Every structure is written in structure tokens, then in C-alpha cells.
Amino acid sequence: MRRFKVTMALAVVAASATLPVVLTATPAAAAPQCVLALYYQNNYVPGSDDLSPNCTMGYGAYGNAVRELQTNLNTCYRKGLTVDGDFGGRTRDALKSVQSALGIASDGVYGPQTARAMNHRIVAGGGSCDRITF
């Protein structure tokens, strides 16, 4: 009986060693969560703890990063959101609308692609908006 178990174990290891392994990055793994409002390239943008705009947030998120997104959606796209820091249905729908107008995936998730495509408030810009690069 022992010989059978060893043979089976070796067969499983040998078979799995020949199978291709495919690893995919999920959006959450690709970028950290947006948690703060960030001053970046003369714009106000949502950012991560590492002070980068390369971050992700979506429905259910809350805090300063969401407030900054809501403010940008209001200032640059006239969405009329309540700036409450809660990424709820209205914020998601407003973001999906902007994403669709920009010709990018309209999934209602703010991530690196959306950050690069959408306009953000310019510091001391009196309501002016501009894109960022990273």
C-alpha cells in the first residue's frame, strides 16, 4: 500500500510540472487602494499611501480619496454629486458616465486607466481641469 501512495504522489507531481501556469493580476493586485487626496502635477487627485495617483477604488470605498473624486466629477464634469466621501451608487453612476464619454471601460471603478483619462481640478485653477500622467 505504501508503494502505491508514493507512486501516485509522484505521478501527480510529474503531471502538474508539465502543465502551464498562468498568473493574472487583478485590479486590486495591480494598484493599491486610493485612500487620500493628493496634490500631483499641479492637480488634486485621489491617491494611495505611497503618494501616487496609481490606485484603485470603487463602490463601498469612503474617505478623502472619494471626496476628491466626487469634487473632480463635479468641477470637471458637472455631475452635481454630494461630496460626502461615500462611493455609493450615484458616484459609481457618475463615474461610469464619464468613463463612457472618455471611451474607456465604463465599469464604475476608479483606477489607473481612469486616472489618466479623466480631468482633475487644477490647483488654484478657478474651476479649471487637466489630465495627469504617470
Please check the confidence at residue 124 and state whether its pLDDT lies above 90: no
Winning range, highest mean pLDDT, from 2-11, 13-22, 75-84, 119-128: 75-84
Please say whether the beta carbons of 52 and 39 come within 8 A.
no
Kindly state the helix (H) or strand (E) to which residue 129 belongs, with its residue range.
strand 129-130
Cell of 20: 502551464
* pLDDT tens profile 51-88: 999 999 999 999 999 999 999 999 999 999 999 999 99
Cα 90-113-63 angle, rounded to 5 deg: 45
Please check the confidence at residue 1 and state whether its pLDDT lies above 50: no
Average pLDDT, integer, range 2-22: 38
Please check the confidence at residue 12 and state whether its pLDDT lies above 90: no
Cα 111-115-121 angle, rounded to 5 deg: 140
